[in-house]
Amino acid sequence: MLGASLSVACLMSLAALSSAFGQSRVASTEQGREPERLTFERGDVYLDSSRVFIHVYKTGLGHEHGVVGTLKQGRILLDAQRGGGELVFDMQSFDADSDQARRYFGLTGSTDASTRQQVNANMHSSSILDSPNHPTAVFRISSISKLAQPSRRNLPQYRLDGEFTLRGTTNPIQVIADVDEKDHWVHLRGGFSILQTNYGITPFTKAFGAVGVADRLEIWGDLWIANDRLVAR
């Protein structure tokens, strides 16, 4: 199920990328003005088609959750000699248990609106993400290296080392990602795990601990990155 949903998502994202410049031109022409110039420098993340997914595991009688969110900005240069870029996460955009997020992790079933509202309220509260006071998280990439071994998809694989800042706390992380080049774009997919307690978060529990979520979270990026300088007039 996971592989099928990723394939569909990949095709949809590629179609969105292919039409992005054209749609902007059409909209501008219909409004009677010169088309807006869209420019992507090499390494820029295309925010509209890129997503971040979080897999929340359960403890006891709890439930697993899938969460999806977006980036505020992003840049990754896979061949950078130093650094490599930065990803800024829009924490207030993160939404729990949408069908898209659940399918990404192969979770079955749908979650009703009332339950989703409760889960989102808990997730964004001061004891968890505290997104009103910490609206962004940042992954600053210090180095990128290509690995000799390809991924399970038989794609080139890279290791991204850097620091992840969440709720004002910074810890080192390492991301393993594979890349697939498609029509002037690089489709990068990779992830890392964190412990909530390392960022000052107490994992949610209720019913005296009988229901809750695990300390460890898996965070996955599904990103589209410009492989050339792209300009639409």
pLDDT tens-digit map of 34-51: 555 689 999 999 999 999
Number of domains forming the structure of the chain: 1
Residue 208: pLDDT above 80?
A: no
Contacts of 54 (CB under 8 A, 6+ apart): 65, 66, 67, 68, 69, 94, 101, 217, 218, 219, 220
CATH of the domain at 52: 2.40.128.110
- Give 20's pLDDT tier (boundaries 50, 70, 90): low
For 44, which DSSP code?
B
Cα separation, 213 vs 55, in Å, equals 10
pLDDT at position 117: 96
Specify the pLDDT at position 34: 53
> Does the reported pTM lie above 0.85?
no
Of 87, 46, 81, 74, whose CA–CA distance to 230 is shortest? 46
The parent domain of residue 160 ranges over 2-232
pLDDT in tens, 84-109: 999 999 999 999 999 999 999 999 99
Q: How many angstroms separate the CA atoms of 150 and 128, rounded?
A: 36
> How high is the mean pLDDT of the chain?
86
Within 15-152, strands assigned E span 38-40, 51-60, 65-76, 85-96, 136-146
User: Mean pLDDT, to the nearest integer, of 126-139?
Assistant: 97
